[in-house]
Structure 1
Amino acid sequence: MAKKTGIWIFRILLFVGTIVSLYFVPWPIVKVWIAPLPDSVQEQINKAEGYEFDGIIVCINKKGNQTELYTSGYKNKEKKIPANHNALFKIACVSKLYNALAVTKLVSIGKLSLEKTLSDYLPELKNRIEYADKITLRMLVKHRSGIPNYKDTYMYWANPKETADENLALVLDKQANFKPDEDYEYSNYAERPGRGAKEQLENYLSMK
């Protein structure tokens, strides 16, 4: 009797677990994956609004330096302004890829060094960011600095900050999450200094 009861409990738990797991399935992506391919790129991106995108721009580079541009949706949905080839959209954390590329280009022409530290470039942060004299540019790009992620601040999303300086203030004089290069942790601050720090870095580069 006890064995049968255990089997039924197991079956019920398995059924409940299956139902719960279905909640976390990214159904819009599944729908796109199983849907038949459209006859054209434009036909595909015309479905963007159905995928809950406000607007979309697709650029296709072909052999021979041929470029094709396609748009769909709005660049300003509230004002019903259609997207165009020059429309600007927020790309959020995708910007980190561009930041990393910009850093490597500056390194390649000798403007920056991956082995120099945060305090080398921004001495104003030396006593405000723990291990600033040991955190190298390489560690920053690789998210191995240990600098806390300001968006992890308690109740951050209840009152998001408006400026880079406000975000910077959230991690100043705080204990590092780990010693430089001893661990990995995603950090928005690692590639987004405050306005004052940014201006100082730009001035430093202009003098090189």
Structure 2
Amino acid sequence: MRSKQTKRILRIVFIIASISSLAFVPWILVRAWILPLPDTVQEQVNEAIGDGLDGMIVYVDQAGKPPELYAAGWHDRKNKIPSDPKALFKIGSISKLYVAVAVAKLVNDKHLSLDKTLADYFPELVGRIENADKITLRMMVQHRSGIPNFTDTPGYWEAPPKANSENLELVLDKPADFEPDKKYSYSNTNYLLIGEILDKTLGYSHHQYIKREILIPLELNNTYSLLSEVDLDDVMSGYSVGYDGDLKYNDFINSSGSMVATAKDVGIFLRALNDGSLLNDNEQAIYSSIYKYEHTGLLPGYSSIAKYHKDIDTVVVQFVNTSGGTTWNLSEIVYNRIVKIVRSKKSS
């Protein structure tokens, strides 16, 4: 009897705790999560705009079906230009997938070694970056270096430096976050340094290498390494909660997140990365040992999610041109609902 009473009491406590916790969750997120699932992806995209996102683009590539593009909201809110599914978008840290592919290719060609240290590649950083003689290229690719993240600098996004050297200066002579290879901690500094290593090794810009080895073979004609390479009218505007301006003019140039692309191009790249058509067997083995096969991106005014869902053999890419507040949480909820819709259609 006591056991049943105890279980009943614990159940009541759990329910009360659950209800209390909802009081601290913004209602818009609860609403987006609990609403009945729409029948179509387009309905879900429209619903997300109604929940406060300015604009959205979604690309769905299911094996055996023609890829589909969806869009809603604003491409340019000020000029009342509707969202364009073929618009260019700042993909942020999704760029790291392309850089990691370049590393795998160059390691396979014996131009790079994953076991060489930062000190081997840049002796001048010994004493400026703690543990430079212990941090390997592999650790940097995997975010296991312990090097502080320059974008974590207080007030960074208020006036971010453009030059790589200026961004690197923000972490020089600072203590490591942890001993090399002891933990995982996401750091954009890792990929800034990898970009510099690639440039030094190649003798020319790694952006050119990525174009030659990845973009051209896959016919990704709407993917660019830098914002400066494109017509800004073709780029989806970016907005942040509490700020009225357009953030698309902010230029983020280092290799940790500089690329601009259409949703379709990102989807084609992700499919090729996951199905093995981008890399040969040796390159694929190297890549699998160092990095992941999906990514998200987040810059002021821009959030993106690009994933391959093996169980339904489907790539889903989502672009949202609103950041700040709870918009990232809302974007994740919407993305997961879109995948559920696709999965339900697949099983029906």
**TM-score, normalisation: structure 2:** 0.46
Q: Give the whole-Å Cα distance in 2 for the aligned partners of 1:65 and 1:123.
A: 52
Deviation at 1:180?
1.1
* Distance 1:47-1:192 versus aligned 2 partners, 3 A rule: farther
Q: How does 1:19-58 map to 2 (within 5 A)?
A: 19=20, 21-25=21-25, 27-58=27-58
Q: How does 1:100-139 map to 2 (within 5 A)?
A: 100-139=100-139
Q: Give the whole-Å Cα distance in 1 for the aligned partners of 2:120 and 2:130.
A: 14
**What is aligned with 2:227?**
none
| 1:74 aligns to 2:74 (yes or no) | yes
* Distance 1:117-1:27 versus aligned 2 partners, 3 A rule: farther
Q: Give the whole-Å Cα distance in 2 for the aligned partners of 1:91 and 1:27.
A: 28
Greater shift in the superposed pair: 42-51 or 130-139: 42-51
Deviation at 1:74?
2.2
Identity of aligned residues (%): 52
Q: Give the whole-Å Cα distance in 2 for the aligned partners of 1:35 and 1:16.
A: 22
Q: Say how many residue pairs are matched.
A: 188
**What is aligned with 1:192?**
192
* Distance 1:108-1:125 versus aligned 2 partners, 3 A rule: same
Greater shift in the superposed pair: 82-91 or 163-172: 82-91
* Distance 1:82-1:105 versus aligned 2 partners, 3 A rule: farther
Per the alignment, in what secondary structure is the counterpart of residue 73 of structure 1? strand
1:96-153 residue CA offsets vs partner (Å, 9 max, x unmatched): 4444444334434444332122233334433422222211111112221111122333
Structure 1: any 5+ residue segments left out of the alignment? 1-14
Per the alignment, in what secondary structure is the counterpart of residue 146 of structure 1? coil
**What is aligned with 1:201?**
198
* Distance 1:104-1:23 versus aligned 2 partners, 3 A rule: farther
1:75-101 residue CA offsets vs partner (Å, 9 max, x unmatched): 332333322233223333444444444
Q: Give the whole-Å Cα distance in 2 for the aligned partners of 1:69 and 1:30.
A: 27
**What is aligned with 1:8?**
none
Q: Give the whole-Å Cα distance in 1 for the aligned partners of 2:106 and 2:27.
A: 42
Larger radius of gyration: 1
Tell me the C-alpha RMSD between the 2 structures: 3.1
